[in-house]
Amino acid sequence: MTQLLFSYGTLQQRDVQLATFGRELRGTADQLVGFHSSMVKIEDPDVVKTSGKSHHPIVKQTGIAEHLVAGTVFEVTNDELAHADRYEVSDYKRVSAPLSSGRMAWVYVDARA
């Protein structure tokens, strides 16, 4: 069974996809509805090495429909979703959220909010 996974950050990078999923993902552009994006410092050296970045985007829910975050929605397997869970650091939690296309997808949001 496949799941929809929305990425607004490093999971869109080819090198991160290869390291996390063992393959390059193909996706379509979409927007996360009702969220605002900022940056978070990543402390995990393995994640920094994989992404090549010490700061990653992170989103918080605002509940305001006009607040949109651009990104890509991918179809992944349940096993691949578990791999993404292991890649994301504790600053993030996975939730189901609406996209501007009308679909619902898993997305990693600020776990501290």
Regions of the chain short of the pLDDT cut 70: none
**What kind and span of H or E run contains 17?**
helix 14-21
Ordered by where they begin, the domains of the chain are: 2-110 (3.10.490.10)
Non-local CB neighbours of 90 within 8 Å, separated by 6+ positions:
111
What is the phi/psi pair of residue 17, to 5°?
-65, -45
Other CB atoms within 10 Å distance of the CB of residue 103: 12
> What's the pTM value of the predicted model, to 2 decimals?
0.94
CA atoms within 13 A of residue 103's CA, in its CB half-sphere: 16
CB 62 within 8 A of CB 35: yes
Confidence (pLDDT) at 1 = 86
